[in-house]
């Protein structure tokens, strides 16, 4: 196995990356003196991967929405019982999650790390699906879908995605629908598992009270798959324009929630520098020290829930502003006006330096947290990037980098999603 080591003298931190012959990438960051260790074993497979093929398939295979999430639930079961039970015996905390472009299985422990890691790698590598267990899970996930139907934050976000995207599967709820999961069979689960849960599509990230060489040794013992596998994901054609400019739903909320999305060319977020530039730009433009936020606050149009995010992955990229407001349409217009105004006046030098400093400081603070670092390493694994890049980016990023991002924010490619109170 090939091992590369990375170090930051400034932070007094280092980590190692090993690549096994079967393509599995293993990231280990040792945190001396920490009591706990956090491990995530994940696959680059999420809710957007609903049409795909491998080298062995002539045609693309299309699967029902929500299957990646369904698979995540099912992997905890085996013929011997529930995977949680073994973690419980060592006292470890275990969980899993499915997102748009990844699924992760994790544990956190302060003892018996080797046993817990061996168990994690083993149960994820050992699928077991039957008609009976699939039927049971359809009921449980059906209830989960209903729970999220009641969540205004979840709904305002997903309604935005369906408004922005015509065809890209990111517009579909991660858990699917009650109807789509009814189509899932054990055979489909095995098809997806065998495609995406191959080590060459997976990663292991471990942070905490461990030594890299111990982790590598356990992985070599447990992950014995030979060879690699290529996967081709089908990305449907997606027009530049949004699907619909406005969408509203009524729920039991005290005040309207909104999410405004600027649809971008998915390639704009291709580099770490571009993503940092986007974060800095959004903070300067609409963060809590900005003129835009101050005015909106004074005019009672927003509250401290007002925030922004750069939502991006394979084939999709949206800049999203969200919050609560008595007049979401007015807030949306003011944001669009500010984009235009900023393009004409340029980036304020003091604001640029100040926000760079904030961003730098908060990135350093992240190194306190084993869980935070594990997430950061997961990003590195998925994007093929390096954790300490932020130091170089901080030194080289310029106002022009921010203006380049600003130029991609087109007012004619926006959608506004609103959740408004039900009439009482």
CB of 90 to another protein, least distance (A): 6
Q: Within the chain, what is the greatest distance between any pair of CA atoms?
A: 65
When the beta carbons of 370 and 387 are compared against another protein, the nearer one is 370
CB of 143 to another protein, least distance (A): 4
Q: Is 32 a catalytic residue?
A: no
**Secondary structure (H, E, C), the chain:** CEEEEEEECCCCEEEEEEECCCCCEEEEEECCCCCCEEEEEEECCCCCCCEEEECCCCCCEECCCCHHHHHHHHCCEECCEEHHHHHHHHCCEEEEEECCCCEEEEEEECCCHHHHHHHHHHHHCCCCCCHHHHHHHHHHHHHHHHHHHCCHHHHHHHHHHHHHCCCCHHHCCCCCCHHHHCCCCHHHHHHHHHHHCCHHHEEEEEEECCCHHHHHHHHHHHCCCCCCCCEEECCCCCCCCCCCCEEEEEECCCCCEEEEEEECCHHHHCCHHHHHHHHHHHHHHHCCCCHHHHHHHHCCCCCCCCEEEEEEECCEEEEEEEEECCCHHHHHHHHHHHHHHHHHHCCCHHHHHHHHHHHHHHHHHHCCCHHHHHHHHHHHHHHCCCCCHHHHHHHHCCHHHHHHHHCCCCHHHEEEEEEEECCC
When the beta carbons of 127 and 152 are compared against another protein, the nearer one is 152
Asked whether 128 and 111 are in contact (CB, 8 A), the reply is: no
CB of 369 to another protein, least distance (A): 7
β-bridge pairing 414-421 and 246-251:
parallel
When the beta carbons of 92 and 269 are compared against another protein, the nearer one is 92
CB of 302 to another protein, least distance (A): 10
CB of 21 to another protein, least distance (A): 34
CB of 395 to another protein, least distance (A): 10
When the beta carbons of 221 and 357 are compared against another protein, the nearer one is 357
Q: Which of 72, 77, 137, 283 is catalytic?
A: 72
CB of 88 to another protein, least distance (A): 4
Residue 164's H or E segment, with its range, is helix 152-164
When the beta carbons of 221 and 422 are compared against another protein, the nearer one is 422
Q: Shortest CA distance to 156 belongs to which of 286, 238, 66, 256?
A: 256
When the beta carbons of 91 and 346 are compared against another protein, the nearer one is 91
Residues marked active site are found at: 72
């Amino acid at each position: 196995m090939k091992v590369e080591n990375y170090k930051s003298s400034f932070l007094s931190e280092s980590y190692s990356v090993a690549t096994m012959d079967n393509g599995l990438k293993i990231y280990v960051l040792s945190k001396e003196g920490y009591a706990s260790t956090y491990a995530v074993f994940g696959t680059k497979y999420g809710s957007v991967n609903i049409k795909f093929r491998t080298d062995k398939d002539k045609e693309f295979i299309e699967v029902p929405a929500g299957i990646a999430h369904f698979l995540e639930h099912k992997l905890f079961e085996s013929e011997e019982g529930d995977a949680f039970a073994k973690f419980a015996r060592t006292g470890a905390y275990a969980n899993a999650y499915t997102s748009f472009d990844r699924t992760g299985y994790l544990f956190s422990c302060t003892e018996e790390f080797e046993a817990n890691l061996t168990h994690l790698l083993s149960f994820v590598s050992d699928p077991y699906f039957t008609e009976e267990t699939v039927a049971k899970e359809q009921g449980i996930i059906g209830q989960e879908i209903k729970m999220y139907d009641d969540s205004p934050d979840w709904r305002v976000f997903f309604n935005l995605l369906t408004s922005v995207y015509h065809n890209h599967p990111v517009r579909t709820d991660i858990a699917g629908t009650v109807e789509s999961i009814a189509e899932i069979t054990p055979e489909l689960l095995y098809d997806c598992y065998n495609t995406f849960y191959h080590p060459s599509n997976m990663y292991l990230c471990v942070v905490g009270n461990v030594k890299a060489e111990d982790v590598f040794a356990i992985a070599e013992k447990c992950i014995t798959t030979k060879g690699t596998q290529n996967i081709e994901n089908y990305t449907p054609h997606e027009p530049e324009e949004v699907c619909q400019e406005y969408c509203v739903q009524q729920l039991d909320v005290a005040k309207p929630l909104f999410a405004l999305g600027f649809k971008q060319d998915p390639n704009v977020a291709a580099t770490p520098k571009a993503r940092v530039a986007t974060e800095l730009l959004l903070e300067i433009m609409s963060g809590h020290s900005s003129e835009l936020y101050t005015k909106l606050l004074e005019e009672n149009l927003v509250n401290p829930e007002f925030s922004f995010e750069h939502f991006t992955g394979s084939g999709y990229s949206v800049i999203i502003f969200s919050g609560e407001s008595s007049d979401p349409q007015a807030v949306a217009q003011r944001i669009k006006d500010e984009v235009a105004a900023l393009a004409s006046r340029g980036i304020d030098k003091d604001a640029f330096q100040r926000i760079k400093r904030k961003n730098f400081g908060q990135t350093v603070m992240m190194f306190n947290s084993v869980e935070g670092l594990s997430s950061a390493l997961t990003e590195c694994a998925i994007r093929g990037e390096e954790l300490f890049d932020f130091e170089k980016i901080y030194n080289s990023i310029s106002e022009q980098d921010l203006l380049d991002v600003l130029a991609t924010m087109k007012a004619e490619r926006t959608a506004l999603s609103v959740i408004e109170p039900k009439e009482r």
